[in-house]
Structure formats: structure tokens, C-alpha cells
Structure 1
Amino acid sequence: MDQRADTREVPPRAQSGHDRPFVASPPWPGEAARLVTDHIVGAMLTLEDDIRDLRRLQRRRPTAEGAAIASAVRFLSAHLDWALTERPAAAEVHDRLSANPAAQIHSWHTAAIHFTRRDTGVERYAAPCPRCDLLGLFRADGDDYIECRNVTCGLLLTPAEYAAHTATLAASYAAWPFNGVTRNVIARYMCAR
């Protein structure tokens, strides 16, 4: 058996398009912010180019990054009404993969909010409030209590109290005259949260 070290190269990543092997490097400070910024700016420039093509306007000239961003913001602000109402993709469903400009702008906003964590995450609970019977139970990131967001109620529950409440609901739903499959699905769903 040959005792020499294995000198085979690691095969390149298929999606990278490079002939050299993939080298994992540690992230550098600011890399995550740059990735989010590149995503949003790239999408803005693509939307600007698309609008210019559809409206048969002059193509934008290559400029420095800061100037290109400022120009794209000015251009998109000036043509936003047309993009949201007249652009062919404006009628598409408003979802994550849509070419609808409103959906695209929403995805940029969502990406920025998630990255900056400006707004706390809110978890919605499936069981109705034990006091007002509305589906208003929420828990914000870092909160110790589950709160009813009904303005007239405002009930606070500990996670243990919520678990007891859902167990009571699941038992009461088990007594409903549903078939066994539906009853079990409802009971599992209510206890899962």
C-alpha cells in the first residue's frame, strides 16, 4: 500500500463555475450586512433595468456603487406608480417568487427588517384566549408571558398555564361529534403550541 499523502484536489463546487477547489473561509466582519445590501441593491438595479426596457427608456450608464444606488432610488421613486399599476408583472400574485414590483419591494423590506431585528418577532398561538375566546394570543421574543392582544382583554398567561388551557381545549374537542381522524388532528394541533 502506498504511504504517500493523498494529493488529489477537492472537486470544485458545481454551482461556483470556478475551476479551483472550494475553500471555506471564515466570515469577515460586516459580511452578513454586505450580503443583504447586495441582494437588495442588485434587485433594485434589476427592477430599474426592467422598467427602462419595458418603457423603452435609455439604459443606465455604469457608475460607482453609491451613485448607482442613489440613481436607482430616484428612478424607482419617479416610476413607482407605473410599476405598481401598468407593468405587466403588476397583476401577478403577491408572493415571494413573484415579479410583481410590490412583492419585490415587500421582500426587500422584510429582508432588511429581519437582518436588523428592529422589530421583535411575534409568535402567534393557535388556541383562543381562555377569557375572551378570540384568537389573539401572542408572545414576543424575550417575553416571559403569552399575551392576549385583544385590547379589552389583555390576559397574560405563563407557558404552563397555556399548556393547561390547550390540554383542556383538546379534551373538550375530543368530545365533539367529529369522526376520530378529525378529532385527533384537532387535539394534536391544539396541544402542539
Structure 2
Amino acid sequence: MPTPALCPGSCNTAWRRAEHALAVNGTPHDIPASWGTPVHCPGCVERTRRQLFELPNLLYAVGREQLHATRAPSVSTTHSAPTDTTPWPGQSARLLIDLVAGGLLETAAELLRLRGINSDRLLANGVREERRTNRAVTILERHLEWLLQEHPLATESHEPTRTGTVVIASGNPAAQIAHWHRAMVRFTHQDEAHAVQRLAPCKRCGGPWLAEARDLRLVNGLPYIECQSPDCGALLTQAEYHDHVRSLIGDVPTPAPARRPVTADVVDRQAVDDVLRGVLTDDRPPPRHPDDAPGETAA
């Protein structure tokens, strides 16, 4: 039986970043790691299965967004050079469909080749794109366990590799499926989980860049609080963030208690009657000058 290893999926992204901070800055952490069975953990397998199942419907939704995110036509002037890059209607949707559909076909064909299965039917000419894409999704669903546990790139981390300013996407099949799914969900405006900003400053760098991490989840489903500064990247659990807020507001003076409303049981009825009688009958004492001079009114 293969020895279980740390899951390369997004469930361990927080742990990998915390380990990097520990190696670089010596910052301790208590973030638990998720173990694979033997490579990917059950949670990542089920998430990939769900995302793969939703891809055909998302492709259809992208196809209906014919004018979404299309750049405005460039305006030519007497000083501008001729160009043939003017976008055509539906260009953005078509490019995204080509990316996802082509990636699905390539991944399915590679899977069949690695497993020694004939892929001629999948790549046959004269088949509509929709039917061919659905066939590729079906193949990937049937072989998903092998794809995530025994594929040559199944052990590669889902996080992209950064070399200077160059970002190299992960070759892990589960990471590719998650990337396609995320791109189409955002393109069709079906992503409702926006980053929730936090008002407290960062505990480490002091910058106002704290937000709920969208791709880091605790076991109980509560999101981490992550510093968005590229030079910091601190991670706080919900409990740690609340303790941090309490430490910031601990020296704030307690506000004065609100004034008690006047009710009928605390009002002197006789005093009220005397005031009303004096106002209504004009029995108020005559005004006096500040110098107490008789016969003069106050200024």
C-alpha cells in the first residue's frame, strides 16, 4: 500500500505558506496539514469531481456571453498605425471556450494514452465540439481516482511556481480543472464570494490589507484572515483575529452610559403643574436686568 503523503491540493495552501514563513522568518504556527489517500485527500477529490461535473454547464453559460468582456473597438487617428487587433463580437467568450475545451480534450487524450486505451474515438473528426467536450468530461470522471492518485503529475503542488516575474501554472490535473472552473465562474459572474475587508491593521506589518482568504479554509469552514501585502502574507485564524482586535481596543475608554429617559414615575407632578400654570396664566416673575436695576429689562 502506498505511503500517504501531504495532499498537494488547496487544503494545504495555508500550511505550506506557514511552513515557508517558519523557514524564512521563524514564525511558529499550529496549522494542521491534510494527508492524501495516498496523494490527494478525499476533500480535494470530491471538490475536483464537483468542478468537473459543472464544466459542461459553465461552457454553455460562457457561450451565451457573446458580448461580455469584449474590448471597445480602437479609434483610429491620423497618427495611429494600422492594426488588425480590433476585437470581434464574442471574442472573449470564444477564446475562453477554446482554452477550456482544448484543455479537456488534451487531458483526456493523455489519460487514455497513459492507460493504454485507444483515443481515436475521442479525437475523431466531424464531431460537434459540445459532444466531444462532454465525452472528454465523461472519460475524466470515470478515471478521476487514477487521475488524482496515479497520474505522473498528481503529486505536483496546485500552487503556481514563481520565477521572478514569470508565473508557471501547475501541471497537476486537479489544479488545471480548478483553474478552468474558476475562470468560467468569474467570467459568467457566478462567483458571489467577494473578499471581505477587515478594518483592523495587520498584526505583523501594521498595514490595512487584511481580508478573508477565499482559497484557504479551516476544517470547520471558517476562512482565514490573510494579509494582502506581498511582503507580509500573515495568516490569522478567526479566533486569533478577534483576540488581535480585542488587544487593539483594550485601552479605549468606556463610553458614558446613555441618559435615562424621563418617565412618569420620576416626574414631580406638582412641579409640572406649577410650570404649566405659570406659563398659561403669565404669572412668571418679571424679568430683571443683570445689574438688578428696577424697572429695566434684561438685555
Relative contact order (alpha carbons < 8 A, sep ≥ 6): 1 or 2 greater?
A: 2
Deviations 1:110-134 (A, max 9, x none): 11122112124315448359xxxxx
**Counterparts of 1:128-139 in structure 2 under 5 Å?**
none
Residue matched to 1:42: 102
Count of matched residue pairs: 122
Does the alignment pair 1:70 with 2:130?
Answer: no
Q: When you count helix as a share of all residues, which structure comes out higher? A: 1
**Counterparts of 1:1-20 in structure 2 under 5 Å?**
none
Alignment partners' CA distance in 2, 1:51 and 1:43 = 12
Letter in structure 1 aligned against 2:84: V
Choose 73-82 or 113-122, whichever is displaced more: 113-122
Identity %: 36
Alignment partners' CA distance in 2, 1:51 and 1:126 = 48
Residue matched to 1:15: none
1:122 aligned residue (195, 199, 216): 195
Given the two structures, how large is their TM-score scaled by the length of structure 2? 0.35
Instruction: Using the TM superposition, give the Cα deviation of residue 56 of structure 1 relative to its aligned residue in structure 2, in angstroms.
Output: 1.2
Deviations 1:29-57 (A, max 9, x none): 32211211111111111101110111111
Are residues 52 and 126 of structure 1, via their aligned partners in 2, closer, same or farther at CA, if it must alter by over 3 Å? farther
Which consecutive residues of structure 2, in runs of 5 or more, have no partner in the other structure? 1-80, 161-168, 203-208, 213-224, 226-237, 249-299
Alignment partners' CA distance in 2, 1:102 and 1:72 = 15
RMSD: 3.5
Alignment partners' CA distance in 2, 1:99 and 1:43 = 11
Which consecutive residues of structure 1, in runs of 5 or more, have no partner in the other structure? 1-9, 11-20, 130-134, 139-147, 155-164, 170-193
Given the two structures, how large is their TM-score scaled by the length of structure 1? 0.52
Letter in structure 2 aligned against 1:57: I
Say which one has the larger Rg. 2
Alignment partners' CA distance in 1, 2:89 and 2:103 = 23
Question: Runs of 4 or more off by more than 3 Å in structure 1?
Answer: 123-129, 135-138
**8 A contact 1:128–1:137 mirrored in 2:** no
**Counterparts of 1:1-193 in structure 2 under 5 Å?**
23-25=84-86, 27-59=87-119, 60=122, 61-62=124-125, 63-96=127-160, 97-120=169-192, 121-125=194-198, 127=200
Letter in structure 2 aligned against 1:94: H
- Residue 114 of structure 1 aligns to a residue in which SS? helix
Alignment partners' CA distance in 2, 1:98 and 1:50 = 16
**8 A contact 1:127–1:137 mirrored in 2:** no
Alignment partners' CA distance in 2, 1:84 and 1:51 = 11
Alignment partners' CA distance in 2, 1:125 and 1:112 = 28
